Every structure is written in structure tokens, then in C-alpha cells.
Structure 1
Amino acid sequence: MNAIISASELVSALAGPHPPVLLDVRWQLSLAAAAGAPPFDGRAAYRAGHLPGAVFVDLDEELASAPGGHGRHPLPDLEVFGAAMRRAGVSSAAPVVVYDGGLGWGAARAWWLLRWTGHPDVRVLDGGLPSWEGPLETSVPQPAEGDFVPAPGAAGLLDADGAAALARSGVLLDARAGERYRGEVEPIDRVGGHIPGAVSAPTTENVGADGRFLSAGELGARFKELGVSQGSPVGVYCGSGVSAAHEVLALAVAGIPAALYVGSWSEWSSDPGRPVAVGPDPR
């Protein structure tokens, strides 16, 4: 099953006999917020207009635990995550479509978590809310309680040691901007650079100017150039495990399974004992 869905396909699915549950995960990484500016308010954006029937899901509160030793967006408490999904009407037998404001990172985080915890049918709206040409609504729906119970382990998950090992034995992709990978700038974490052996693969290069994913063929060619071959183990990390989920999604579009290092650079760099590489060379 394709991991993404177009707006026109979603219109058809919503009119069909088994319409998907819609989750609105509008979230925005704000470097300005790290400097003290007010953060993006996803709930306010949701209240101003959302896809009909969509339920808002808070990435920071429901798709992650509080920041700490395991990074800025560690795995959520599974009871909190499961309760949030059931509140939104998510059931194991019903399809789910997730969207955000267009960047795709927040939606991809929800997509990955649902896959990792065993949901069999979840897709991301390609292009997010800007791709939707239908009506929006401002009322907050009250869907029937879902029955989804998270059962982790259905998709690949890496910890710090696993990421380090994969950088040696397979392909570990760094989804952050190139200048952060090279250690030229680091606006958030303790130190700049990358995990030794990781390959720079900014997630922004997986989409076109319209914010929609490149074709499966184009993505496959891109990852091949980065060293990914059929059957080779692949993992992805970023700053805090959000944009890396978007790269795992891009890999899925290309037909390539990949694991996610959720703690990512925010966890790795917090430990002074872990090695750090700088510059364009993986090592």
C-alpha cells in the first residue's frame, strides 16, 4: 500500500464505504522559538479551519514525551499515545489519513508512530493542507471512541548504539540541513556535526517546490546515489526524530524499508562521550 495519498484520492476515499479517520498534526519547528519567540500554535491553526471531521493531535504532548536525556522528542508514553488515538476515533480496522500544514514532518511523525505500534493502514496526505481544494470546517468533531491499542515493534526503531552500528554496517542517513551535518552551524543542540559514518541526506530534497514528494522512481534514484542498495539496512536520524520520520516516509514511497533513530542528534550530542564527526565526509 502506498504510504501517501493525494488530495483527489482522499476525496474519493472519504466518499467511499470505509472513509478514513483524519488526523490534523499541524506542527512547526521554530528556531525562533528556541531563541525565545512564541512557538507556532497548531491548535489555533486547527480551530481556524481544518478538513471536515479531522481531529487535532498535539505532536509535543501526544506524539512525544517531555524533552530529556533521550532527546527533544522522545517516544511518547504508549498509554498517552493510545488514548490520544482512540479519542480521535482511530481503530485497528479503519484506515487513517494524517496531514499537517504542508511541511509533512508532523504528519510523518504520526504516520511512523502508528506504523511502529501496529496500525495496518495509515497514509499521509501528500502536500498537506495546502493541497486540499475542498471546504474546511471550524467546528470540533466528537468522533466515536476508537479501539486502537498500540503494540510497538511493527516498524524499525534504533537507539544510539544501534544507530552507531548501522553507520558501520549499513547506511545511516542524516536528514538535517547540510550545514548542521557539517557542523558549520548548530542553532539548537550542544554541538554541531554528525554521527561518524552517517551520510548527509536533507529531507527537504525529497519533495518538489510544491511540497509534494518526488516520484517513487526519483526518490529511489536519489537514495541509490546516497549508497542505499536493495537489501542494505537503512536508518535515519535528524535533530529530534521528526524530520527523520519524513525521510523514512520518503524511503517507504520508494519501496525501501528504514528504521528511525528517534532520539536523533539531540540525544546523541547530549552525551560528551559519544564521538562527533564534522565536515562533508561521513567519517
Structure 2
Amino acid sequence: MATLMTAPELHQRLEAGERTILLDVRWVLGRTDGHAGYLEAHLPGAVFVDLPTELADHATPGRGRHPLPPPDRFQQSARRWGINDGDTVVAYDDSGSMAAARAWWMLRNAGMDSVYLLDGGLSAWRSHGYHVEAGEVGPAVGSVSLGDGLMPSITEQEAAQWSRDGLLLDARAGERYRGEVEPIDPRAGHIPGALSAPTTENVSEAGTFLPGGELRRRFEALGLDASSKVAVYCGSGVTASHEIAALEIAGFSAALFPGSFSQWSNNAANVVAVGDAPFEDGTDGPSSMSRADGSSVEA
């Protein structure tokens, strides 16, 4: 199934009157102006999705900063957005699909097949001169019935062992992977055995995904091939969804570690590696790595 929809393709659908649910998922870590930006200008008919409250449960040290919400609560949110069974859904943001990909992954995980990311988001739409509108959109409540567990995911325990026979990708910025800076989570560094694969390298300067062939070469350079067993994490399971979308475009399937580093780094039993190698000593096995000091997670 396709992952992306271009702005012209979406515009054509809307002009033809084909039922399409548009989700505006504007959210950037450390900022609270997503809804204000939505009210100022959004795609016609788009519904605002609040990532911290509708695409995540309450933060807890044992589950991470953005744990997945219970399936029944997510279904309630999807119905609030106006989704019915069989609908086509297109999610977008204004940050290279970094936030919208969370909605894409969760809807796929809930069993929806016809769900896409608007490639390039709001900027791509505007670059074609298409109409935007202001204000809140309150659609009729939908009746969609959602499931759970349709996309692969892994637990904290599985993440600890993943690199033994698979590839674990860290989608955060390189400086956070290396442990040079950590503005949010209790400890700096990465899960031992993980490879650095920053999400920002999946997109062009315009915020559109790189072509499939280019993405495939990028991931192949990290050691992926058709037989690879791949899992992805980030800080709290949000941008890792973007990496999974990029991997899908490249022809690879990958599992999500929902709790990601925010869950991992809060567990005192977990070691954390620093530096630019999967393990601190540059070998294929663990070396001297730091343990937690009891710090609590930041929401």
C-alpha cells in the first residue's frame, strides 16, 4: 500500500468530491503553538489533532513520555475526527511529516489501510497555490471501529536483545545518539547496539521524503537488506514513526519501540552507551556503560 500522497493528488481528490478525512497534526517538541497555527491557516476541512492528548497517553517513567493511548480511547479520538470505516485519511503537519507520521502509524496499527502522509505537508500544499482556510473545524462524529496490533512493535525487553540478530535504528539527532546533549530524558546516549539513523536525513530541504531509491541506498548503507529484522526508536516514539514510513517507502518493514529512549533511560537496570559506535568500545558487544541514577522523566 502507498505511504504518501502528493499535494496535487490530494487536491484532485478533494476537487472530485472523494471523501477524504484530513488530519492536521501540528506539533513540535518544546512548542505549544500548533493549534494556534492551525487556527490561522489549514487545509480546507482539516481537523486539528492534539498529539500529546490524542496520540499519546499520560507520561510515566515506566512507559515513556508519549506512551500509546488505550485502543478504546484512540477510537474515540478517531471518531471525533469524523472517521468512518472505509474512509481515506491523509495526515499532515508543517515539520516534514515528523508529527503526522505518528497519526499515520497509529491508524495503520489500528487496522486502517487507506491512510497516507501528505508529502511536504502544509508547505507543499501552499507551494501549489491551493486554498487554505482559518478557524476550527468540527466534523460530524464518525463511527469507525478500530483494532490494535496491526503494525509490528517491540517491548523494552526485546529492544535490549534486538541487535543480537537484528538492526536497531536510533532516529534521534546524532548529537543525542552520541550522548553529547540530552535536553529531555534522564541520561544521554543510546541503547547499546543501536545504529544512528537520524530522521531528518529522510527528507529534502523542502520537507518532502527523499525518493524511494535514495532512501533505500541510505538504509542499505547502514547494513539493511531484504532479510533484515529492523526496529526503530527515538526519544518517545513519535519521530520513530517517521523513520518507519521512510523505511516502508524504501521497501523495508520495521517495528516500533513505542517507549523509546525515554522509557529505556528511566529504567535503572538498563545500560546506556555513548559515542558514535553501537557499543562504547566499538566492538559487537557491551562495554562500560552508564546506569540510571533514579531521575524522573520530563513530560
TM-score by length of 2: 0.89
Identity of aligned pairs, percent? Answer: 51
2:23–2:46 contact (8 Å) kept in structure 1: yes
Unaligned runs of 5+ in 2: 280-299
Q: Which residue of 2 aligns with 1:277?
A: 273
Unaligned runs of 5+ in 1: 31-38
CA distance in 1, matches of 2:260, 2:273: 15
Q: Which residue of 1 aligns with 2:176?
A: 180
Q: Which residue of 1 aligns with 2:2?
A: 2
CA distance in 2, matches of 1:147, 1:253: 30
CA distance in 2, matches of 1:41, 1:17: 31
Q: What is the CA distance between 1:140 and its match in structure 2?
A: 2.6
CA distance in 1, matches of 2:38, 2:17: 26
Q: Which residue of 1 aligns with 2:285?
A: none
Q: What is the CA distance between 1:17 and its match in structure 2?
A: 5.0
CA distance in 2, matches of 1:276, 1:102: 29
2:96–2:203 contact (8 Å) kept in structure 1: no
Moved more, 235-244 or 128-137: 128-137
TM-score by length of 1: 0.94
Q: Of 39, 53, 67, which aligns to 1:47?
A: 39
CA distance in 2, matches of 1:17, 1:53: 12
Q: Of 214, 222, 227, which aligns to 2:223?
A: 227
Q: Of 135, 145, 151, which aligns to 1:149?
A: 145
2:190–2:261 contact (8 Å) kept in structure 1: yes
The structure having more radius of gyration, on CA atoms, is 2
Q: Of 205, 208, 220, which aligns to 1:209?
A: 205
Q: Which residue of 1 aligns with 2:48?
A: 56
Q: Which residue of 2 aligns with 1:266?
A: 262
2:266 counterpart letter in structure 1: S
1:42 counterpart letter in structure 2: G
Q: What is the CA distance between 1:232 and its match in structure 2?
A: 1.3
CA distance in 1, matches of 2:95, 2:120: 5
Structure 2 counterpart SS, 1:273: coil
How big is the alpha-carbon RMSD for the aligned residues of Structure 1 and Structure 2? 1.2
CA distance in 2, matches of 1:188, 1:141: 33
Structure 1 counterpart SS, 2:90: strand
2:199–2:243 contact (8 Å) kept in structure 1: yes
Q: Of 82, 86, 91, which aligns to 2:84?
A: 91
1:49 counterpart letter in structure 2: A
The answer to whether 1:73 aligns with 2:78 is no
Structure 2 counterpart SS, 1:104: coil
Moved more, 141-150 or 41-50: 141-150
Q: Which residue of 2 aligns with 1:254?
A: 250
2:157 counterpart letter in structure 1: D
CA distance in 2, matches of 1:179, 1:43: 29
CA distance in 2, matches of 1:231, 1:13: 37
Structure 1 counterpart SS, 2:99: helix
Q: What is the CA distance between 1:212 and its match in structure 2?
A: 0.7
Q: Deviations over 1:173-196 (max 9, x none)?
A: 000111111111111111111111
CA distance in 1, matches of 2:146, 2:153: 15
Q: Which residue of 2 aligns with 1:115?
A: 108
Q: Which residue of 1 aligns with 2:97?
A: 104
Q: Which residue of 2 aligns with 1:36?
A: none
Q: Which residue of 2 aligns with 1:27?
A: 27
Q: What is the CA distance between 1:40 and its match in structure 2?
A: 2.0
CA distance in 2, matches of 1:179, 1:47: 34
2:108–2:115 contact (8 Å) kept in structure 1: yes
Aligned length: 275
CA distance in 1, matches of 2:216, 2:96: 21
1:92–1:120 contact (8 Å) kept in structure 2: no
Runs of 4+ with >3 A deviation: none
